[in-house]
Amino acid sequence: MSSRVIPRLHVTTRALADPGTLFGFASRTDPLIWMRGGAGIVGSGEALRLVHTGEDRITDLAADWQSVAASARVDDDVRLPGTGLIAFGTIAFSAASATESVLIVPRQIVGRSGEHAWITEISIDGEAYPEGAPVRTPLGESVTVPLAEDADADQRHQALVRTALERIARGDVAKVVLARTLTGRLPEGADRRRLAADLAAAYPQCWTYAVDGMIGASPETLISVRAGSLSLRVLAGTAARGHGAEADQAAADTLLESRKDRDEHAYAVRSALAALGPHAAGLHGQDSPFTLRLPNLWHLATDISGRISDRASVLDLIQALHPTAAVGGTPTAAAIDLIDELEPFDRGRYAGPTGWVDAHGNGDWAIALRGAQVDPAGDITAYAGGGIVAGSDPASEFRETGIKFRPIRDALS
């Protein structure tokens, strides 16, 4: 499906005195946010929206973006990651999804990184240039929204996991990631920035994202690109935090020694390395995973970095990587077929790529986990899943999804 005609954008970035926290510069109803540890970018307004669906959604967005970048006039006084022409993106997990994959160029972006802060203004060529100072509005109150699940959600998820285990035993797949949903509704007028701000406060080590209603705090870096270098953090394998320091350390140690979790993790690392191989040189990661501590859980994690060998942009690398076995499975095509067969819902942007891209093909993208899609009317669908491999236990898998819902549940309570 194709986007509309590409307009010529005029982009100006200039340095800004310390703007304080950034959330207040985003729009209340449709915030564009990408933050981690107090640094990041927030956008308001919409200069351009590129939209695609289907099998070629990522390559089509990448091609459109190249045209936008090639024709834009950019005056960038700051020249840091996140300055100049930027689009925020959220991409549907599945080629079969009815949900749109989008790149959105805001009218205004306010950003900060360390000591530096900046404002970027974007106009469509020929238009009067937008005026000066960024406008911050106070964040609305947190809201309490119960997220509902069906009475038999536990039994249903366990039945799915058992079916997946049968298919694994039969040799159809070695790993498949299965998810479930919770639903709720934001009260009218609720400030969506508040949800993102609460997630960022509770999970400062995660990427807090908000793009086209997809809002969450993801620990998993799908891919970061900076001037020819790439890096990513692969996560797969999960354990609940223990109560008390000793039990907590024991939980991490058990996770690190768990054969089942190590297998689950290895599939995800292998799929990322295989996807990046044709585009990268000097790829390296740890020989064995480390345990990543988050407020709600432990993950097995591997950091990978390398150099881009073929001038691929961050969007090209997303096309190569998505879906990794952290959210799809192994082998990829058979796992995606199994997900389509077993999960009774369209994943939308859940487990899809979300992040930002600049005019040079740099950017940071996470896998859209630990979040929810909030539609314009306020309907919320939250998603969480887990990797199933030989040896997975259906009851534990259900509990694991419960732990992964905590960020969004807590932010709404």
Binding residues for ligand ISC, rule: CB under 6 A, are 177, 179, 220, 235-238, 299, 326-327, 351, 369-370, 384-387, 404
Please state the closest distance from residue 173 (CB atom) to ligand ISC, in A. 14
Please state the closest distance from residue 101 (CB atom) to ligand ISC, in A. 19
Task: Please identify every residue annotated as catalytic.
Answer: 175, 220
User: Rounded CA gap, 243 and 183, in Å?
Assistant: 29
Q: Which of 186, 220, 193 is nearest to 33 (CA)?
A: 193
Neighbours of 208 (CB within 10 A): 29
- Tell me phi and psi for residue 16, to 5 degrees: -130, 145
Neighbours of 150 (CB within 10 A): 12
Q: Which is nearer to ligand ISC, 214 or 327 (CB)?
A: 327
Distances from the Cα of 67 to the Cα of 9, 318, 335, angstroms: 11, 18, 34
The one-letter amino acid at 171: G
Q: What is the DSSP letter of 279?
A: G
Please state the closest distance from residue 235 (CB atom) to ligand ISC, in A. 4
Please state the closest distance from residue 106 (CB atom) to ligand ISC, in A. 28
Contact between 178 and 343 (Cβ < 8 Å): yes
Q: Which is nearer to ligand ISC, 25 or 298 (CB)?
A: 298
User: Rounded CA gap, 308 and 286, in Å?
Assistant: 19
- Give the rounded distance of the alpha carbon of 90 from its chain centre: 8
Q: Which of 399, 32, 7, 406 is nearest to 214 (CA)?
A: 32
Q: Which is nearer to ligand ISC, 385 or 394 (CB)?
A: 385
Q: Which is nearer to ligand ISC, 327 or 359 (CB)?
A: 327
User: Rounded CA gap, 212 and 220, in Å?
Assistant: 20
User: Rounded CA gap, 262 and 207, in Å?
Assistant: 24
Buried b (16+ CB within 10 A) or exposed e, 175-190: bbbbbbbbebbbeeeb
Query: 277: which 2 tokens?
Result: 């191989």
Please state the closest distance from residue 264 (CB atom) to ligand ISC, in A. 6
- Give the rounded distance of the alpha carbon of 360 from its chain centre: 21
Please state the closest distance from residue 35 (CB atom) to ligand ISC, in A. 19
Q: Which is nearer to ligand ISC, 10 or 322 (CB)?
A: 322
Strands of 16-80, DSSP E: 32-36, 39-44, 48-52, 73-76
Please state the closest distance from residue 301 (CB atom) to ligand ISC, in A. 9
Q: Which is nearer to ligand ISC, 269 or 384 (CB)?
A: 384
Q: Which is nearer to ligand ISC, 65 or 93 (CB)?
A: 93
DSSP code per residue over 254-281:
HHHH-HHHHHHHHHHHHHHHHHHGGGEE
Contact between 16 and 119 (Cβ < 8 Å): yes
